[in-house]
């Protein structure tokens, strides 16, 4: 056993006693090991040994359920809660429960409003225009390819006109794509699901879905 592990094992009873008293809830040895080994470097054997030692000393309580042992703080060390205190706690629980229900209701209203907003979006129309622009751009790209292959049949003016038109449509494509991205990002800020799920529900298809890449400027 390394020096660090030996020191951790020696201090294990004190660490575990404080932990069980602070948490004041039952744990198995595996639970305690999983919760504390990273912070304190305790090994599983050291945790089991320390818990058994504390139980034998009467500092904590031990219960056996089937093949598993459960350890928890001795409840005698804690103050007895009066009926009045319990009533106060019950009132707090009722208030917190009502608050949770109110928040849940607000969330449902927000989800309903989001669905209405989503259904009212013009995304399908935008996608249709984008697809049309893609087709036009593809046509001009093919035309440009043919023109480049037969430069002796094209005047410099015609060539420049083609480049200007290509630049115009690519600029429009880039503009509409940016608009669609900004709109979807704004909605996703309050959307409870992932971006992929949002696109599937709304029916948004992206350039990437069709392996289409926006030409470089």
Q: Is 43 left (phi over 0), alpha (psi -120 to 50) or beta?
A: beta
Does 128 fall in a domain? no
Cα(163)–Cα(44) distance, rounded to whole angstroms?
Answer: 72
88 with 25, same domain?
A: no
69 with 85, same domain?
A: no
Q: What is the pLDDT of residue 1?
A: 47
166-195 tens-digit pLDDT? 777 778 878 887 887 888 787 878 778 787
109-119 tens-digit pLDDT? 777 776 665 65
Does 33 fall in a domain? yes
Q: What is the pLDDT of residue 78?
A: 62
Does 35 fall in a domain? yes
Cα(204)–Cα(83) distance, rounded to whole angstroms?
Answer: 59
Q: What is the pLDDT of residue 201?
A: 79
Does 177 fall in a domain? yes
55 with 94, same domain?
A: no
188 with 204, same domain?
A: yes
100 with 61, same domain?
A: no
- Is residue 142 classed exposed, middle or buried when 0-12, 13-18 and 19+ CB atoms within 10 A define those classes? exposed
Does 141 fall in a domain? no
CATH number at residue 46: 1.10.10.10
Domain that holds residue 48: 2-73
200 with 176, same domain?
A: yes
Does 193 fall in a domain? yes
Does 149 fall in a domain? no
40 with 97, same domain?
A: no
18-61 tens-digit pLDDT? 888 888 888 998 998 888 877 777 888 888 998 999 989 888 88
Does 32 fall in a domain? yes
Tally of domains in the chain? 3
């Amino acid at each position: 056993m390394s020096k660090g592990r030996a020191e951790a094992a020696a201090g294990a009873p004190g660490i575990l006693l404080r932990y069980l008293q602070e948490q004041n809830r039952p744990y198995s040895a595996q639970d305690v090991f999983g919760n504390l080994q990273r912070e304190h470097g305790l090994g599983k054997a050291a945790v089991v040994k320390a818990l058994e030692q504390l139980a034998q000393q009467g500092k904590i309580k031990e219960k056996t359920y089937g093949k598993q042992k459960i350890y928890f703080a001795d409840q005698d060390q804690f103050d007895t809660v009066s009926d009045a205190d319990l009533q106060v706690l019950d009132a707090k629980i009722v208030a917190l429960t009502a608050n949770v229900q109110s928040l849940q209701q607000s969330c449902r209203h927000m989800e309903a409003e989001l669905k209405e907003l989503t259904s009212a979006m013009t995304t399908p129309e935008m996608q249709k225009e984008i697809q049309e622009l893609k087709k036009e751009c593809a046509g001009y790209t093919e035309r440009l390819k043919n023109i480049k292959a037969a430069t002796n049949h094209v005047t410099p003016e015609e060539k420049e006109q083609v480049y200007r038109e290509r630049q115009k449509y690519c600029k429009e494509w880039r503009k509409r794509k940016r608009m669609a991205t900004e709109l979807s990002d704004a909605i996703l800020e309050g959307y409870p699901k992932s971006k992929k799920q949002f696109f599937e529900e709304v029916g948004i298809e992206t350039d990437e879905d069709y392996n289409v890449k926006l030409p470089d400027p």
